[in-house]
Structure 1
Amino acid sequence: MSDKDGHQTLDLLVLWLIGLILLYSATIFAAAYFSGADMGAWVWGRHQNQFSWYSRPLFMIPAAYYAYRRKVWHIAGFMALLATSLFWFDAPATVSTHVSAYLEWEKHLFFANDTKLPLVALIFGVFVFLMLLFYAFWQRNPWYGLAIINAGTVLKIIVSVAFGQDEGMAAIVPSLSSLLVINLFAWFLWQRKRNDRN
């Protein structure tokens, strides 16, 4: 089997895996809906499970990889996984006061505010961030893409702390841990590529 055939087979398997996980997401969502659950409260309760906070590199790294290889469906699939991972994990039995306070601040800022400007700004900011990120990898410029990830994450921390103050501090550790994983992965790839050249 040639390298090209191997890549095509792996790409197909990845799409099937994405489809299966999205089917799982739809199943648990539908089960909660038909059981009569308050869907807003159900999603919000599960969002408090920090596994969904720390799992982001699992989606961003392969999405960036497939942007580099210019595979639109794979990028869209991993972004769909990132969105639905919000409610994959059961609501935790106990929630730390820092996490609870941060989420309440977030809920008030984006959903219970008198103005929709913060929510619009959030959606626009995320959209611009993802477009710049994937454009960088699409143009085969991974270092530019890595710079965007770092800048975007640092900006998120600054905004959270500046506007959320003590509550916003809860965003620091998950954001920096994601950044650490992504940068270590980039460093590993750079070392491997440099060794191959040598």
Structure 2
Amino acid sequence: MSTMNENENRVMKHFDRNVAILFAILSLAFIVLMGTDHVFFEWAFSRHQNILSWYIRPIFMIPICYFAFKRNATGISATIFLMFISMFWFPKPVEIDPKVADFLAMERVYLTQNWTITKMLVTSIVPISMGLLIRGLWQRNIKAGVGVLIGIAVGKIIWSVAEGGASGAKVIVPAILGLGICIVAIVWWYKKRYLKS
């Protein structure tokens, strides 16, 4: 019986790893497409002007944290892919907030021009922080996970205001609201599942 369970676990881990790799490849393909296809890049950014895509993206942290707790690589990888493509889920708005347009214009320039060593190092903070978040929660360290989440939100706000000025302030409300929802959801779930009496 134990041998059967061990075999099943091995098969499931193998499946989980392979599907996670598939979604990682899809995420990489999306990044390459954004960097090489100008038409697709502009189409995606035109839809990203819909402020709903700004509010939904931080919420993806909830399933990422959940799957990290469950040690489910497929769930993590699939959620990251969905988070990437969520920028164009909503239609291009009829009326565009000038500050939103200004901020996205800055992001366009940031992503397409002058990739210096400094910019690469700064940008690498994003995958590094996501890795730290996943690692912390994979190890069931709730304090580390929440701490990294706060760091991600604060870092996003600081970068947005530093690079975008007044237009960057449009990120503050979605970032703080998303952070609050994520922390409440994570703490509630953690207490319910792991701190039962």
Output the TM-score relative to the length of structure 2.
0.73
Give the corresponding residue for 1:5. Answer: none
Q: CA deviation at 1:74?
A: 1.2
**Alignment CA distance shift 1:63-1:191 (3 Å):** closer
Give the corresponding residue for 2:3. Answer: none
Report the AA paired with residue 52 of structure 2.
Answer: F
Task: Return the alpha-carbon distance in structure 1 between the equivalents of residues 75 and 195 of structure 2.
Answer: 29
Q: CA deviation at 1:43?
A: 0.8
Give the corresponding residue for 1:60. Answer: 61
Report the AA paired with residue 41 of structure 2.
Answer: G
- Which string of whole-angstrom CA distances, capped at 9 and with x for unpartnered residues, describes residues 5-48 of structure 1? xxx9xxx9xx9xxx9xx9xxx9xx9xxx9xxx932221110111
Q: Mapping of 1:103-118 within 5 angstroms?
A: 103-111=104-112, 113-117=113-117
For the residue of structure 2 that corresponds to 1:114, the secondary structure is coil
* Structure 1 vs Structure 2 CA RMSD: 2.9
Contact 2:106-2:163 within 8 A present in 1 as well: no
Q: CA deviation at 1:187?
A: 4.0
**Alignment CA distance shift 1:124-1:194 (3 Å):** closer
Give the corresponding residue for 1:144. Answer: 144
**Alignment CA distance shift 1:56-1:158 (3 Å):** same
Q: CA deviation at 1:144?
A: 0.7
Give the corresponding residue for 1:163. Answer: 163
- Which string of whole-angstrom CA distances, capped at 9 and with x for unpartnered residues, describes residues 68-114 of structure 1? 11111111011111111111111111110111111111212232x33
Identical columns (%): 29
**Alignment CA distance shift 1:54-1:189 (3 Å):** same
Give the corresponding residue for 1:87. Answer: 88
Report the AA paired with residue 68 of structure 1.
Answer: F
Q: Mapping of 1:1-198 within 5 angstroms?
A: 38-111=39-112, 113-117=113-117, 120-189=120-189, 192=192, 196-197=196-197
Task: Return the alpha-carbon distance in structure 2 between the equivalents of residues 192 and 62 of structure 1.
Answer: 16
Task: Return the alpha-carbon distance in structure 2 between the equivalents of residues 54 and 68 of structure 1.
Answer: 24
Q: CA deviation at 1:192?
A: 4.1
**Alignment CA distance shift 1:59-1:151 (3 Å):** same
Q: CA deviation at 1:146?
A: 0.9
Task: Return the alpha-carbon distance in structure 1 between the equivalents of residues 95 and 117 of structure 2.
Answer: 32
**Alignment CA distance shift 1:153-1:190 (3 Å):** same
Contact 1:105-1:167 within 8 A present in 2 as well: no
Contact 2:58-2:174 within 8 A present in 1 as well: no
For the residue of structure 2 that corresponds to 1:181, the secondary structure is helix
Contact 2:58-2:175 within 8 A present in 1 as well: no
Task: Please list every run of 5 or more consecutive structure 1 residues that lacks an aligned counterpart in the other structure.
Answer: 1-7
Q: State the aligned residue count.
A: 168
Report the AA paired with residue 104 of structure 2.
Answer: L
- Which string of whole-angstrom CA distances, capped at 9 and with x for unpartnered residues, describes residues 106-153 of structure 1? 212232x33444652354111101110000011111221111000111
Task: Return the alpha-carbon distance in structure 1 between the equivalents of residues 111 and 116 of structure 2.
Answer: 7
